[in-house]
Each structure stands twice: as structure tokens, then as C-alpha cells.
Amino acid sequence: MNGVFGSQPLPPLERKRILWLALGAFIFVFVLWQTESILLYPFRLLVTYVHEMGHGLAAVITGGEFISFHVYPDGSGIAFTDGGSRHLILLSGYVGTALFGSLLLCAANRVRRVRLVTTACGTFFALSALLFGGTGGWTIETAVTSFFAIMVGIIGCMVFIALARYASRTINVLSLNTLAFIIGFNVVSDFLFLLRNQDIGIGMVTNDAAAMAKLTRMPTLTWIVIWAAASLIMMGAALIFAFVEPERNSEAI
């Protein structure tokens, strides 16, 4: 079936082009990461956005309520939930972000109609901003950070929709790969940061690993290692599915 996904392998030239695009995206992100470029800032905000949405969606999936979320200008964020599985809600921040990046990498390189992937990303950011970017309390601080979250979502939506509408397939693949690799680098960076700052939080709110440690009476370090391992396994599997598996399939024909 040659639909959205298609069961037939891509032509050799198309596979090579996708591999070169992915390699270019990886090198671009790697260089940015080494220089700590200001160009990473909007991507950092998007990663935080996805992280907080992971918490919220986990609450909804486990029978709770996603009240709202905030994104702060410094790149941190917080989600407000009620009910649901506390364990899965805490888990779904870092691990959920890694899952998002892994799925994005797979979709960018395996879905034939890649503009649908870009459009889906834009729709995700728009709907989540409008549905969950509320203030959660009317104070100057919450109003500002809530507005910031909505702004990140709407701008993200506009960029993705513009890419899907006006950019070539090549630019769409390159953009999605870049975002996926940035998410991957950011996940690793966040876990390394947590290793050095296990008690860090926002105000009276502890970080996810420390909160899980308190909930389960297991060391914070244990949860950092478990989540990091799960995230790396997912991202490794995504790389195999996106790039290695198509080559194997083509060689088998």
C-alpha cells in the first residue's frame, strides 16, 4: 500500500537524500549545542512546552484533569493537574518528551506525506495552547507565564503550518529532523543537569525526579538513571526504525 506510510521501500536516491538530511540536521544541532547559541532558545521553549504537556496528557489518560501549564522565559515550566496516576504523571515529563522526539524522528523519515506530520505538529501546539494555556490563578506572575505558554504554542503552530504549506518536502524533513535531534540532545542535557542538581525546583515545587523519589521512597538518582535509560532506549529504537530498518528492507528485496 502506497498511502501515508507505504509498505514499499523508498527508491535508493530518496533514502540517501533522507540520510543526508538527517546527518545535516544532526551536525547543525551538535554545533549549536557546543556553542550554546541563542538560536537554541526557541527550541528550548518548545521542549519545555512538550514536557509540560506530557504531564498533563498523562493526567487525562489516567483519569485525572489537566488544569493548565506555564512556560517561563528562562526555559523552565510547570503543569497543574488534579487526580490521575501521580506516578505516570511524573514519569511522563522527561520520558514523554523523549517519546515525542522519537516518534517525530520516525515520522519525519518514514512517512511519505511528511507535510501531514508537520501539520499535525502545528495542530498539536495550537490546540494545547488554547485548551490548557490558562492562568491557573490570576496573579501578575501567572498571567505573564500563562501568556508566554500560549505565545510559544501559537508561534510554534504558525511556523509548522507555514512549513507544511509553503516549504518543500526537503525543508520539512530537515526541520522535523532538527527538532527531533534537539529534543534528544536536550533530554540528555536535562538528565545531566539533574544529576548535578538533584534538589532543584521552581519555588516550593521540586523537580520530577525528586518528587518521584519522595512518592516512592527511592533515591532521586535511581529515577534519574531509570528515566535516562528509558529515554535513550526509545531514541535508539527510533534511530533504528527511521534509518537502519529501511536499509535492511531494501537489501532483502
Amino acid at 30: F
Strand, coil or helix: what is 226?
Answer: helix
pLDDT tens, residue by residue, 206-232 = 788 889 999 999 999 999 999 999 999
Residue 143 forms part of a structural domain: yes
Look at residue 90 and tell me if it is in a domain. yes
Q: What is the CA radius of gyration of the chain?
A: 19
* Chain mean position to CA 116: 18
pTM value is 0.85
With the C-alpha atoms ordered 59, 64, 68, 73, is the resulting torsion angle positive or negative? Answer: negative
Give the pLDDT of residue 103: 95
Residues spanned by the domain of 182: 12-186
In a domain, 216, yes or no: no
Q: Over the chain, what is the mean pLDDT?
A: 84
Whats the size of the chain, residue-wise? Answer: 253
How many structural domains is the chain composed of? 1
Report yes or no on 194 lying in a domain. no
Q: Does any domain span residue 86?
A: yes
Instruction: Determine the pLDDT at residue 85.
Output: 96
87 located within any domain: yes
Question: How confident is the model over 127-185, as pLDDT tens digits?
Answer: 999 888 865 554 545 555 568 888 999 999 999 999 999 999 889 988 998 899 888 88
Residue 18 counted as domain residue? yes
Query: Does some domain include residue 249?
Result: no
Q: How far is CA 81 from CA 20, 68, 89, 107, 219, in A?
A: 42, 7, 9, 29, 24
Strands (DSSP E) along 27-118, which ranges? 65-71, 77-82
> Exposure pattern of 205-227 as b/e (b: 16+ CB <10 Å)?
ebbbbbbbbeeeeeebeebbeeb
Q: Which residues contact 88 (CB under 8 A, 6 or more apart)?
A: 58, 61, 62
Q: Return the closest-CA partner of residue 187 out of 71, 98, 64, 82.
A: 98
